[in-house]
């Protein structure tokens, strides 16, 4: 969903700030629609002024979404959970938080911080716009009110109201929206059952997603929905957000189930002992015909004499042209040990699962005191989950939208 397409624009409070290319779509859309509607309400303004206002407002909207995510992130860091990055994308922002909050209280505070920040910014800007205002009481027609606004007032009013909308929308009680996290933390505090609380909050999230999709499709067919209006673009947009929320809810629940099942299970219970290995000095051809053929393994620890030298995978082999196989050594295509992500026999399986997903690898070498004692394979983890839980899936980390 958010891989590889992001541009790093800077670093704040030790958190990388990234922009996904999809965010440019939103930027262009907001700037265009704002510039076009200013043309209707303020026809006497210069086009340069109207477009400057539109661009400035979009940039301030961008800063507002960033402030919302920073509020979540700083609260999370204050509770001891590090945040790697904040990415701005099509549907707003997402903070990559390394693990789920460990208590209902810290989840509540972390979740509420974002919407609180948005509403605070919104109120401050609206009050500011009001303070700048000329006396409006004398004007009776609302259209006249709009046409008498100054440029600064237009920006403050627009960015202020969009922040209020952002704050309120995020407080909808469906997980993984902030409101859904707030709901989950309250249920969690009452029942002391994280999985059960997550189930309820994600069900509401999925329900809200279905409602938005239904509402969006109705809008496409000309039905007017209060607050959202009607029409093709608005309808598709609402349906799209609903689809995203529906998906994200289902995935979040699976993640929590997976983490819950694997918590407290050590890697050594799931890992494969005595995995097949390869030699650094054998040719790729030997690797393929003597080791890969006839097994269902996808990666092999590589030894240089008695030392673990790295890992070689099927993808490494595929990336090597067929005619090079006899003359290429395994050591030339492997990932050197120093660059491999590894686990240890006493590590929590939930953590190892996160490593597999974050690094996008199928297997992790299990190393104790520099010695290879096994391999943890993704499919063995999934098998374990199938045997011990209701569902199986992948995923890692957690986000907040
Ligand atoms: Zn949020």
Q: What is the pLDDT of residues 346-401, one digit of tens each?
A: 888 888 887 777 777 778 888 888 788 888 888 888 888 888 765 444 433 344 44
Task: Please give the distance, rounded to the nearest whole angstrom, from the Cα atom of residue 83 to the centre of ligand 1.
Answer: 14
- Whether pLDDT at 325 is above 50: yes
**Assigned token pair, 163:** 């922040």
Q: How far is CA 179 from CA 82, 90, 115, 190, in A?
A: 22, 20, 9, 17
Task: Please give the distance, rounded to the nearest whole angstrom, from the Cα atom of residue 215 to the centre of ligand 1.
Answer: 23
Give the rounded percent of residues in the chain with a pLDDT score beyond 70.
91
**Selection from 15-29, 33-47, 125-139, 179-193 with the highest mean pLDDT:** 179-193
Task: Please give the distance, rounded to the nearest whole angstrom, from the Cα atom of residue 400 to the centre of ligand 1.
Answer: 5
Task: Please give the distance, rounded to the nearest whole angstrom, from the Cα atom of residue 398 to the centre of ligand 1.
Answer: 12
Task: Please give the distance, rounded to the nearest whole angstrom, from the Cα atom of residue 54 to the centre of ligand 1.
Answer: 24
Task: Please give the distance, rounded to the nearest whole angstrom, from the Cα atom of residue 171 to the centre of ligand 1.
Answer: 8
Task: Please give the distance, rounded to the nearest whole angstrom, from the Cα atom of residue 111 to the centre of ligand 1.
Answer: 7
End-to-end CA distance of the chain: 13
Task: Please give the distance, rounded to the nearest whole angstrom, from the Cα atom of residue 218 to the centre of ligand 1.
Answer: 28
Q: Which domains does the chain have, with CATH numbers?
A: 6-171 (no CATH), 267-388 (3.10.580.10)
Averaged pLDDT score across all residues of the chain: 82
Task: Please give the distance, rounded to the nearest whole angstrom, from the Cα atom of residue 109 to the centre of ligand 1.
Answer: 11
**Selection from 63-77, 148-162, 254-268, 330-344 with the highest mean pLDDT:** 63-77
Task: Please give the distance, rounded to the nearest whole angstrom, from the Cα atom of residue 12 to the centre of ligand 1.
Answer: 17
pTM of the model: 0.69
Task: Please give the distance, rounded to the nearest whole angstrom, from the Cα atom of residue 121 to the centre of ligand 1.
Answer: 14
DSSP 82: -
Task: Please give the distance, rounded to the nearest whole angstrom, from the Cα atom of residue 170 to the centre of ligand 1.
Answer: 6
Q: What does the pLDDT read at residue 392?
A: 40
Q: Are 6 and 18 in contact (CB under 8 A)?
A: yes
Task: Please give the distance, rounded to the nearest whole angstrom, from the Cα atom of residue 112 to the centre of ligand 1.
Answer: 8
**Assigned token pair, 131:** 């303070």
Task: Please give the distance, rounded to the nearest whole angstrom, from the Cα atom of residue 95 to the centre of ligand 1.
Answer: 9
- In tens, the pLDDT along 115-160 reads 999 999 999 998 888 787 665 555 556 666 666 777 788 888 889 9
Least confident range of 61-65, 141-145, 223-227: 141-145
DSSP letter string, 150-208: -HHHHHHHHHHHHHHHHHHHHTSSSTTSHHHHHHHHHHHHHH--HHHHHHHHHHHHHHH
Q: What does the pLDDT read at residue 147?
A: 67
């Amino acid at each position: 969903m958010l891989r590889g397409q992001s541009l790093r624009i800077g670093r704040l409070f030790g958190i990388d700030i990234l922009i996904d290319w999809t965010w440019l779509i939103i930027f262009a859309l907001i700037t265009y629609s704002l510039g076009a509607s200013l043309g209707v309400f303020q026809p006497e303004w210069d086009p340069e002024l109207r477009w400057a206002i539109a661009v400035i407002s979009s940039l301030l909207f961008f800063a507002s979404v960033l402030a919302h995510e920073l509020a979540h992130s700083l609260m999370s860091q204050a509770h001891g959970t590090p945040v790697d990055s904040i990415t701005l994308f099509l549907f707003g922002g997402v903070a990559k938080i390394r693990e789920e909050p460990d208590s209902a209280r810290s989840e509540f505070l972390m979740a509420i911080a974002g919407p609180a920040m948005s509403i605070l910014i919104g109120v401050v800007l609206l009050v500011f716009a009001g303070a700048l205002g000329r006396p409006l009481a004398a004007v009776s027609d609302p259209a006249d009110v709009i046409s008498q606004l100054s440029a600064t007032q237009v920006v403050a009013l627009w960015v202020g109201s969009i922040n209020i909308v952002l704050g309120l929308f995020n407080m909808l009680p469906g997980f993984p929206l902030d409101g859904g996290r707030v709901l989950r933390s309250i249920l969690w505090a009452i029942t002391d059952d994280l999985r059960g609380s997550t189930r309820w909050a994600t069900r509401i999230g999925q329900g809200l997603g279905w409602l938005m999709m239904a509402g969006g499709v109705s809008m496409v067919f000309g039905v007017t929905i209060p607050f959202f209006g009607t029409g093709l673009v608005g309808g598709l947009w609402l349906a799209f957000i609903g689809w995203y929320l529906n998906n994200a809810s289902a995935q979040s629940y699976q993640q929590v189930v997976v983490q819950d099942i694997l918590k407290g299970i050590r890697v050594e219970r799931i890992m494969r002992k005595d995995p097949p290995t390869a030699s650094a000095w054998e040719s790729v051809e030997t690797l393929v015909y003597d080791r890969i053929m006839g097994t269902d393994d996808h990666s092999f620890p590589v030894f240089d004499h008695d030392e673990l030298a790295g890992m070689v995978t099927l993808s490494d082999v595929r990336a090597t042209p067929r005619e090079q196989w006899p003359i290429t050594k395994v050591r030339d295509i492997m990932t050197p040990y120093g660059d491999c992500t590894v686990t240890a026999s006493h590590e929590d399986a939930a953590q190892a699962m996160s490593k597999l997903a974050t690094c996008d690898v199928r297997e992790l070498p299990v190393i104790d005191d520099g010695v290879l004692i096994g391999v943890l394979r993704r499919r063995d983890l999934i098998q374990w989950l199938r045997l011990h839980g209701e569902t199986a899936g992948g995923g890692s980390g957690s986000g907040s939208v």
